[in-house]
Every structure is written in structure tokens, then in C-alpha cells.
Amino acid sequence: MDKSILKNVVLKQNNKMKQQRIIERDKFTAVERHLQSPHAVVVTGIRRCGKSTFLKQLLDHYHPDEYYHLNFEDERLLDFSVEDFSQLYEIFIELYGKKNIFFLDELQNVPKWEVFVRRMQDSGFKFFITGSNASLLSQEFGTRLTGRNIVVNLYPFSFGEFLRFQEYKIDANALLISEKRAELRSLYVDYLVKGGMPEYLQYDDPAIIKNIYENIIYRDIVARYNISEVKALRELSLYLISNVAKPYSYNNLRNILGLGSVTTVKNYIQYLENSYLYFSINCFSYSLKQQSVAKKKIYCIDTCMINMIAFQFSPNNGQFLENAVFLELKRRGHEIFYYKTKNNLEIDFLIRQGTEITQLIQVSDNLHDAKTRACEIKALLTAMQELQCNSSAIMD
């Protein structure tokens, strides 16, 4: 790559970097403990969820003016290859002097980037990396960087982060005061509609959400995986986002959408999940074979995206609530399934830790209805008995 072009990109990017409004993320402490370790700290997640801002806030606090930064999402770096890293390092030294911390955004865009990282790690350099493709990152880490990295998954704002963004403070007794409870419930309804994408919350512009979605489809999937059946991919994604929290099977999707084969459906869903747009969960069974053939359930990375993109005539509050509960369980690092009892009652979420089933969770936005409440309780009690689980909850 031409050195003058690369130097110009470095200068312009670093001049544009500015201190953004600091919203303390729940993951701060998870990364702080790894700041002094030799491991590469890798923050992954959907594009525009705040990965770069998150790392910049940490580095500016603990290592101000001690790191190099470059964002490989820049279209001027399309020709950047692994051979250009040595030239990039020379430019960094020329412009900013010697430093031993690299902060590199969307590094998965550079083939064989892990060769450079491993070489520099061996020389004592520290790396902070962001990425928005789970599969590409895991492949590289599984080869040359095994055991030399710490991966942190970052999601759009949680409800707690949303409240901090809104500058709403909760005191210890807030839930004991009826007015405060009502305020929080109103804010949570607002959160379900607006979601947690930082840029959208800042500017309240629907085009931001739609642009993120389109970039995922075209830049993260169509371009990266050389997809020729773009219409089929778009229709599949629209179907999934319109049917969040509902079971699906590969065969049904193939038949509904007229896709060529089950393998195509599987691949497309995997690509969508690699970009962190969707998550699938299995129906729990003690038989792995039964788990593999049972229908899966799909969830989306952000409720606002469902609201903006899905084909629906009115907002589905129950769907939004279930998706929000799922995302919170993911943030907490739980292994999540759903469950069907022997008499076909459905449990929204089954949490497993190791070999132990630790909790069953039902989600409902209509618990004031006696019939609905009785059905939810019956399903939980039946499942608790079948699975010998003594902990359950209903989220409303």
C-alpha cells in the first residue's frame, strides 16, 4: 500500500478522534482487570454498539497518549495487507514516537492480521482490538493466538446503561416508592421501543438503525461471503426479525422462502449470527440428537431494530420484552435454552451452568390477566418437576 496514502489515513483518523460523552458501561470492570496483562484484549459485538468508544474511554483513562490507533473499517484501507503492518508501525513512530500499545478497530478486515499481532506480542506490545465478525475472529484466535487473548462481548446498552445515558439516577429505595416504580416502568417501555444503540439514542434518527442493518447485510455478509442470492438473504433476514422469539426449523424456512437447500439456510443464518445481528437458541433436551433436530428460537441484537425493520402492523410488546430479557441473560454470560414439557407447555428460557439447570424463566406482559398468569405458573411448575429444578421466575 502506498505509504503517503496510509500516512494520510492515520493522520486524519487520529485528528477526528475526540472524547465522546462517557457512559459507564457494565463491562468496564471486566476489561480493567486485563489492562496490565500481556494478553490481547478483544472487544466484539455488532457494528456501532460502542466498542471503539468503550476502549477509547478506558485507554484515555489508564494510558492517555500511550497508544496507537487505526480503524480498518475505513474504505481507504481496502488494499491494506499483512505486509503493510511494518510500514504502518514506521508511520506511527514517525508521527507519534515510540509507544507499546496498539488499539486497532475492525481488525478482521485484514487477512492474516494475527501474524503481526503475534510477532509484536512476542516483543512485548499490548493490543486492544475490536471486531464485528465472530467467526473470522475466532478462526484467527484459534490458530496463532490461542491462550494469548481475552475476549469481551459488548452489546447495545443494557437498561442500566440506558438510564445512565438518560441521566436518571436510581437510589437504593427507588423500587419501594410507587412513584419511582411508575417512572422506571415508563422508562423501561421507552427502552423497549428505542433499544440500546448509542448513536440512535443520541440523535433519534431512524436512518441510523436502518443504515446499520443495511451495512450488516451488504458489507458484513454479501461482500464478505460473496453472496449471489442477495434477495434470498434479505428475505430470510426480514422473516427472522419479524418472527423474533418464535420457533423455526431450517426445512420450514427453506420451504417458506423458496431457498435452494437446507445447507443454504444454515449458512445464511450462521452469517447473520456471525455479524451479531441474531442469536439462535436450542430446545433443551438431555439427548443431543433431539436438541439438534428440534426447532430453534431466534432473537435479535436490539429491540429498536425489530421495531424499525420487522414486517408488523403494530408493536408487539410481549415480543420486545422477551427479546430484552434474552439480551440481558446473554450480557450476563448465561447458557440459554428454551424448553418444551412432555405435555407441550413452553418455557421461554432455561438457564444451565455446566451440567446443572439453575433457573427457568417465563416472560409475560399480561400477568394481570388471571388466565394468563395461571398458564405461566402451570408451565413453570410442570417443568420444574420434570427437570428437578427448584428455581424459577416470571418476568413482566
Domain for residue 21, yes or no? yes
310 and 343, same domain (yes or no):
no
How much is the pLDDT for 14? 86
179 and 280, same domain (yes or no):
yes
- Selection from 109, 147, 159 nearest residue 129 by Cα: 109
- Selection from 270, 266, 271, 233 nearest residue 252 by Cα: 266
Domain for residue 325, yes or no? no
Of 95, 118, 153, which closes a domain? Answer: 153
Domain for residue 231, yes or no? yes
Of 132, 153, 174, which closes a domain? Answer: 153
* Helices 230-242, 262-274: crossing angle, 10 deg rounding: 70
- 256 contacts 239 by C-beta, under 8 angstroms: yes
How much is the pLDDT for 134? 82
Which pLDDT tens digit goes with each residue over 105-118?
Answer: 999 889 899 999 99
323 to each of 79, 179, 319, how far by Cα in Å? 39, 27, 6
73 and 204, same domain (yes or no):
no
Q: What is the CATH number of the domain that holds 112?
A: 3.40.50.300
265 and 346, same domain (yes or no):
no
8 and 138, same domain (yes or no):
yes
Domain for residue 357, yes or no? yes
For 185, the domain range is 157-314
pTM attached to this predicted model: 0.94
How much is the pLDDT for 136? 67
Domain for residue 326, yes or no? no
288 and 166, same domain (yes or no):
yes
How much is the pLDDT for 102? 98
141 and 203, same domain (yes or no):
no
239 and 141, same domain (yes or no):
no
40 and 141, same domain (yes or no):
yes
Domain for residue 324, yes or no? no
83 and 162, same domain (yes or no):
no
Question: Burial level of 298, CB count in 10 A (0-12/13-18/19+)?
Answer: buried
Dist. CA 384–CA 378, nearest whole Å: 10
129 to each of 117, 119, 164, how far by Cα in Å? 10, 15, 26
301 and 176, same domain (yes or no):
yes
| Count of domains observed in the chain | 3
How much is the pLDDT for 149? 87
How much is the pLDDT for 295? 97
Of 128, 153, 178, which closes a domain? Answer: 153
Can you say how many angstroms the Cα of residue 349 is from the centroid of all Cα atoms in its chain?
19
The parts of the chain modelled with pLDDT lower than 70 are: 17-21, 136-137, 139-144, 313-315
Rg of the Cα trace of the chain?
Answer: 23
Domain for residue 106, yes or no? yes
Domain for residue 178, yes or no? yes
Which pLDDT tens digit goes with each residue over 328-386?
Answer: 999 999 999 999 999 999 999 999 999 999 999 999 988 889 999 999 999 999 999 99
79 and 169, same domain (yes or no):
no
